[in-house]
Amino acid sequence: MIDERDKPEPREPREPLERRGRGVSPGLGIGPAYVVDRREVNIPHTLIERDDVEEELKRFRAALRGAQDQLEAVKGRLPQGEHRQILKAQQMMLRDPGLIQRTETWIREELIGAEWAVSKTVDEIRAKLAEVGDEYFQARQYDVAFLGERLITTLGGEEKDAINPPAGAVIVAHDLSPADTSQLSQAQVAGIITEEGGTTSHTAIIARALRIPAVVGVADLLSAVDTGDLVIVDGVHGLAHVRPTPEQIAALEVEVERYEAFELEIAKEHALPAQTDDGENIRLRANLALDDENEVARGFGAEGVGLYRTEFMFMNRDEAPSDEEHYRMAKALLQRWAPHPVRVRTFDLGSDKQCRSLDMGEAEHNPAMGLRSMRLALRRPEQFLAQLRGLLRAGLHGPLQIMLPLVSGLEELAAGRAAIDEARAQLRELGLPHADEVSVGVMIEVPSAAITADLMARHVDFMSIGTNDLIQYTLAIDRDNDEVNYLYEPLHPAILRLIKTVCDAGDRHRVPVSLCGEMAADPRYTWVLVGLGLRELSMQASAIPVVKNIIRASTLDEMEALAAAVLACDTAADARRLVIQEMGERFPEHLQHAAGVDIDIEDEPISSVGRVVRE
Ligand code: PEP
Ligand code: MG
């Protein structure tokens, strides 16, 4: 089942090769490849007799217990921390009623064997997750696939072997399971390269936590590498060099030395505030979506949670979460992050985030502009109120903030606030303890909301700019469409003006404004964002140390000067050139340190209109 490649047949020496993927854990590593290929799990396609149904169900339930025990055993071998959380999440998935009931239905009604039934259920769940455009949910499909694989091997009477790379190896795999990654350590592994996976995959999370350089999403890798081939993993630029030349190795050594010195330097600041050289405090908070990311985020020095995405709670199940689940989730977060605030976003489903636990209605012609986010919540009052009741109850345990997504105007905001009042009234009637005062705010993701931020500001406790969607809607660019991705431009004058408009409105009405889109995590934009007036940035936690170091080394004056210059640019190309020149000169290492940040300034004339698209 576990088909780790045997020693390859002797063959002609193969050419050096460079492959591009996505750098998800910065750092550089070199070592012999240790190839793990687990794409082929043998699934017996057996039909059973009606009389054998009970026996088959028993076999399935025994496999569920067996898989639980295996995960427990792996967990027991690990120290406390985020690795254990990841295995716990896997164990919870094994108890998921959606997975269990669906598999049992296949066995009972279609009379198919347990292995086949598991694989069909897993395929269904994966297909649903894959439909979701959001990278985070896409990544979860690999977790489900690993669980399915574990169950099928357990049904066949086997246990999944642990991988056992020699010290200093670079793991090369189609993908790694959470159990695999949680057994790795920095001492043992020089890097990880996988064909699958995204920024929020478990491989990425663990690699970042263990500070193992990692590149994911490298196409057709396994056919190009043999165990023992020398490999360089460049998690900064998202590159894999297979069988590097002596020149590439020499260049790497210089890079590694520089990189490690820089790492040490910024790590010293984890516990220090993100305060500019002239005393302005900037709050750096974490964007989270899963329990197991909490400890990682704390380790990177996040001062609370600036965006908790609750969508995952609704995925991969038949019923929407109950009040109690929302309550327990938010209470646990508050206890973990005390005394810092935790900002929970109510469910932002619809459009690219589909799930079966909410009735999503008819397929839409234009889902990004359809029944999604706040609009969907207002049409599904039962589930929305359940979430709000859970959150209001949790509000007793700490500084909880409720954030309403994709609000386009005052009417939607008023309707959202009315729902919060209604949930509160219901709790009062039920005699359930809850917070009377909870901070309520909106995400500013639609141009109409940004332009009317002064009106919004009168009715909220905070505003948070979601640039991922704001750019999509302002520039009319589907954020998941590769064909138009070249137009996705955070420094477009329209975007900069909208951010400034929101910051100014917040200022005038004394309402704090934060920014929680991907832009916040990109060190190229730190000066511009603070210079435009933002005093809170929320981002993937691993980006915090670099952004903090930039802030601590800068003055507000210089940030404001760059923001003003950028605001005066006619085109995004001019703004980009200016920002990269300034930031590249002042913070070359920071820009090189951030995974996946492009710092090439194209050879285009100043004030060029548009960009040449090369096929
Ligand atoms: C955003 O749109 O910027 C945002 C943070 O929300 P999401 O990426 O979850 O849509
Ligand atoms: Mg959004």
The DSSP line for 399-455 is -EEEEE-S--SHHHHHHHHHHHHHHHHHHHHHT----S--EEEEEE-SHHHHHTHHH
Q: How far is the CA of 112 from the centre of ligand 1 (A)?
A: 42
Query: Higher confidence at residue 90 or residue 563?
Result: 563
How many residues make up the chain in this entry?
Answer: 615
**How confident is residue 261, by pLDDT bands cut at 50, 70 and 90?**
confident
pLDDT tier for residue 337 given thresholds of 50, 70 and 90: very high
pLDDT at 604 over 60: no
Alpha helices for 487-525 (secondary structure H): 493-509
In this structure, what are the phi and psi dihedrals at residue 170, rounded to the nearest 5 degrees?
A: -105, 120
Please say if the pLDDT value at position 408 is more than 70: yes
Give 463's DSSP letter.
E
Looking at domain 283-555, its CATH superfamily turns out to be Phosphoenolpyruvate-binding domains (3.20.20.60)
User: What mean pLDDT is predicted for residues 514-527?
Assistant: 93
pLDDT exceeds 80 at position 404: yes
Measured in Å, residue 54 CA sits from the centre of ligand 1 at: 46
Domain with CATH 3.20.20.60 in the chain: 283-555
Per-residue pLDDT band at 613 (split at 50, 70, 90): very low
Cβ of 467 below 6 Å from ligand 1: yes
Choose which residue among 312, 315, 348 to substitute to test ligand 1 binding: the one with the highest number of ligand atoms within 8 A of its C-beta. Answer: 348
Can you tell me whether residue 134 is helix, strand or coil?
coil
pLDDT of amino acid 609: 34
Strand boundaries in 278-375, DSSP class E: 283-288, 305-309, 342-345
Residue 423, pLDDT score = 98
Q: Which residue has the higher pLDDT, 525 or 540?
A: 525
Reported as half-sphere exposure (CB side, CA atoms, 13 A), residue 435 has a value of 22
Distance (Å, whole) CA 272 – CA 274: 7
**What pLDDT sits at residue 611?**
33
Mean pLDDT for 343-356 is: 86
Q: How confident is the model at residue 2 (pLDDT cuts 50, 70, 90)?
A: very low
Please give the residue that has the higher pLDDT: either 58 or 40: 58
pLDDT tier for residue 70 given thresholds of 50, 70 and 90: confident
Cα gap 218→204, rounded to integer Å = 14
Cβ–ligand 1 distance for 448 under 6 Å, the answer no
Pick the range with the lowest mean pLDDT from 51-55, 389-393, 417-421, 484-488. 484-488
Query: CA angle, 481 as apex, 491 and 453 as ends, to 5°?
Result: 45
Quick one: average pLDDT of 423-440?
97
Q: Is 516 in the pocket of ligand 1 (CB under 6 A)?
A: yes
Residue 274: is its pLDDT beyond 80?
yes
Point out the least confidently predicted range of 7-21, 95-109, 600-614.
600-614
Contact in structure between 539 and 516 (CB atoms under 8 Å): yes
Pick the CATH number of 13-38+162-246 from 3.50.30.10, 3.30.70.100, 3.40.309.10, 3.40.718.10: 3.50.30.10
Is the C-beta atom of 104 inside 6 A of ligand 1?
A: no
Task: Express as a percent the part of the chain with pLDDT over 70.
Answer: 86
**Residue having the nearest C-alpha atom to atom 6 of ligand 1:** 466
Nearest residue (by CA) to ligand 1, atom 3, is 466
Residue range 259-263: average pLDDT? 81
Q: Which residue of 312, 349, 373, 443 sits with most ligand 1 atoms within 8 Å of its CB, as the best mutation to test the pocket?
A: 443
Report the nearest atom of ligand 1 relative to the CA of 309. Answer: 9
Contacts of 298 (CB under 8 A, 6+ apart): 336, 337
* Ligand 1 neighbour 468 (Cβ under 6 A): yes
CATH entry, 50-155, from 1.10.274.10, 3.40.50.300, 3.40.50.150, 1.10.760.10: 1.10.274.10
Give 442's strand partners.
404, 463
Higher confidence at residue 136 or residue 246? 246
Q: What is the pTM of this model?
A: 0.69
Q: Ligand 2 center to residue 471 CA distance, Å?
A: 10
Residue 469 beta carbon below 6 angstroms from any ligand 1 atom: yes
Q: How far is CA 518 from CA 95, 199, 446, in A?
A: 33, 12, 16
Lowest mean pLDDT among 325-329, 337-341, 594-598: 594-598
- Candidates 138, 348, 468: which one to mutate for ligand 1, based on the most atoms within 8 Å of Cβ? 468
Q: Which of 355, 503, 516, 569 is catalytic?
A: 516
Q: 293 alpha carbon to ligand 2 midpoint, in Å?
A: 20
Ligand 1 near 439 CB (within 6 A) = no
Q: Which of 171, 213, 177 is nearest to 194 (CA)?
A: 171
**Cβ of 466 below 6 Å from ligand 1:** yes
The residues near 339 (Cβ < 8 Å, ≥ 6 apart) are 398, 399
pLDDT of residue 133: 62
516 catalytically annotated: yes
- Return phi, psi of residue 190, to 5°: -85, -20
Convert 172-188 into a string of H (helix), E (strand) and C (coil). EECCCCHHHHHCCCCCC
From the CA of 136, the nearest ligand is 1
Percentage of residues of the chain with pLDDT beyond 90: 50
Cα–Cα distance, 537 to 539 (Å, whole number) = 7
Over residues 24-46, mean pLDDT = 80
pLDDT at 475 exceeding the cut of 50: yes
Name beta bridge partners: 275.
281
CA of 298 to the centre of ligand 2 (A): 24
For residues 70-90, give the mean pLDDT. Answer: 65
Contact indicator for 33, 223 with CB cutoff of 8 Å: no
Flag whether pLDDT at 382 surpasses 90.
yes
Higher pLDDT, 350 or 71: 350
Residue-level pLDDT at 197: 72
Ligand 1 pocket member 412 (CB < 6 A): no
If one residue of 200, 309, 534 were mutated to test the ligand 1 pocket, choosing by the most ligand atoms within 8 A of its CB, it would be 309
Q: Whose CA is nearest to atom 7 of ligand 1?
A: 468
355 as an active site residue: the answer is: no
DSSP notation for 223-289 = TT--TT-EEEEETTTTEEEES--HHHHHHHHHHHHHHHHHHHHHHTTTTS--B-TTS-B-EEEEEE-
pLDDT digits (tens, 9 = 90+) for 107-153: 999 999 999 999 899 888 888 877 776 666 666 777 787 788 888 88
- More confident site: 235 or 445: 445
Q: How many angstroms separate the alpha carbon of residue 445 from the centre of ligand 2?
A: 6
Our answer on whether the CB atom of 292 is closer than 6 Å to any ligand 1 atom is no
- Which pLDDT band holds residue 206 (cuts at 50, 70, 90)? confident
Q: Whose CA is nearest to atom 9 of ligand 1?
A: 309
Is the predicted pLDDT of residue 593 greater than 80, yes or no?
no
Protein residue whose Cα sits closest to atom 8 of ligand 1: 468
In this structure, which residue's CA is closest to atom 4 in ligand 1?
466
Residue 418 or residue 267, greater confidence = 418
Asked if the model's pLDDT at residue 57 lies above 80, the reply is yes
When the pLDDT of each residue in the chain is averaged and rounded to a whole number, the result is 85
Query: What does the pLDDT read at residue 343?
Result: 98
Domain with CATH 1.10.274.10 in the chain: 50-155
Residue 289 has a pLDDT of 79
Residue spans in the chain of domains classed CATH 3.50.30.10:
13-38+162-246
**Quick one: pLDDT band at residue 332, thresholds 50, 70, 90?**
very high
